[in-house]
């Protein structure tokens, strides 16, 4: 796990966008399969990617994208649906085909069957090349709340009270926030070939510390990422405030920049 401690969200967005850029360039003409998160954490990175598309010619034309989750009961056109969010904040501003941006159907008659179908669609696409994640203050990633199985698959989940309260800022009131969602499971997320997680603010500091330095536990679902071989964590100083090894992470990144390793090929 690589930990990048940056000055602010803008600096973090550039690090995350660099990971996306390398992934897209490596995929070449075949295109990359991207896993996209919603919420406030990834928005600065999406804004930087939009800028690179417009000013530097970064292309998403051959890529496909899968969302992490969707509220149960919200139609795609609802102003708070994640289907709509990702288009308004990212994909409609770049050259990815809208039909190639896939999300769970929050209005499915059988949400359990929809979850299983979505998990199969991810596998049939060949898996995710790069998954971007945020993290909740209680350590959830996607909507995998504390207590989620570390091997869980895409499923219907009930939202924790803290998550409902955190997300109520997007709705008229907490009572308007759906209480269930369709969410990729931790096991599903861990199948992505590369993962980048971004977080800012003091409210995420404990979750980030547990993610990077705590024991692997369902109490803090994001700790499952410790089992993945290629995870980049990008946090600002406030979110890094409880990392005991913060000085080491800074030293490692500085050493890496000054003395880059090569494969020797």
Distance of CA 159 to the CA centre of its chain: 17
User: Which residue matches tokens 């992934």?
Assistant: 23
Joined tokens for residue 121:
């669609």
**What 8-state DSSP symbol labels residue 261?**
-
Judged by DSSP in three states, 70 sits in strand
Joined tokens for residue 91:
């994909």
Judged by DSSP in three states, 173 sits in coil
Judged by DSSP in three states, 220 sits in strand
Joined tokens for residue 217:
């536990």
Residues 116 and 153: their CA atoms lie apart, in Å, by 8
Residues 171 and 157: their CA atoms lie apart, in Å, by 20
Q: How many CB atoms lie within 10 A of CB 93?
A: 16
User: Catalytic amino acids?
Assistant: 69, 138, 140, 145
Residues 178 and 73: their CA atoms lie apart, in Å, by 7
Judged by DSSP in three states, 65 sits in strand
- Which residues in 135-173 are b (16+ Cβ under 10 Å) and which e? bbbbbbbbbbbbebebebbbbbbebbeebbebbeeeeee
Decide if 264 contacts 40 (C-beta within 8 A).
no
């Amino acid at each position: 796990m690589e930990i990048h401690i940056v000055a602010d969200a803008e600096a973090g967005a550039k690090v995350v966008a660099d990971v996306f850029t390398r992934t897209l360039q490596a995929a070449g003409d075949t295109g990359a399969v991207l896993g996209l998160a919603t919420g406030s954490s990834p928005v600065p990175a999406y804004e930087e990617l939009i800028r690179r598309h417009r000013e530097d010619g970064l292309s998403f034309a051959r890529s496909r994208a899968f969302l992490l989750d969707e509220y149960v009961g919200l139609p795609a056109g609802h102003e708070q649906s994640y289907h709509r969010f990702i288009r308004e904040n990212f994909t409609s501003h770049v050259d990815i085909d809208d039909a190639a941006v896939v999300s769970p159907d929050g209005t499915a008659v059988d949400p359990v069957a929809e979850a299983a179908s979505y998990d199969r669609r991810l596998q049939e696409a060949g898996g995710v090349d790069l998954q971007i994640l945020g993290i909740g203050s209680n350590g959830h990633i996607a909507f995998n709340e504390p207590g989620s199985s570390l091997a869980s698959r895409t499923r219907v989940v009930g939202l924790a009270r803290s998550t409902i309260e955190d997300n109520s800022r997007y709705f008229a009131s907490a009572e308007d926030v759906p209480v269930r969602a369709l969410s990729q499971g931790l096991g599903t997320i861990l199948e992505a070939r590369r993962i980048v997680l971004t977080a800012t603010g003091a409210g995420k500091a404990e979750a980030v510390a547990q993610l990077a330095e705590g024991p692997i536990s369902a109490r803090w679902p994001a700790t499952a990422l410790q089992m993945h071989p290629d995870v980049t964590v990008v946090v600002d100083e406030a979110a890094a405030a409880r990392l005991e090894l913060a000085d080491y992470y800074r030293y490692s990144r500085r050493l890496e920049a000054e003395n880059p390793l090569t494969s020797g090929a």
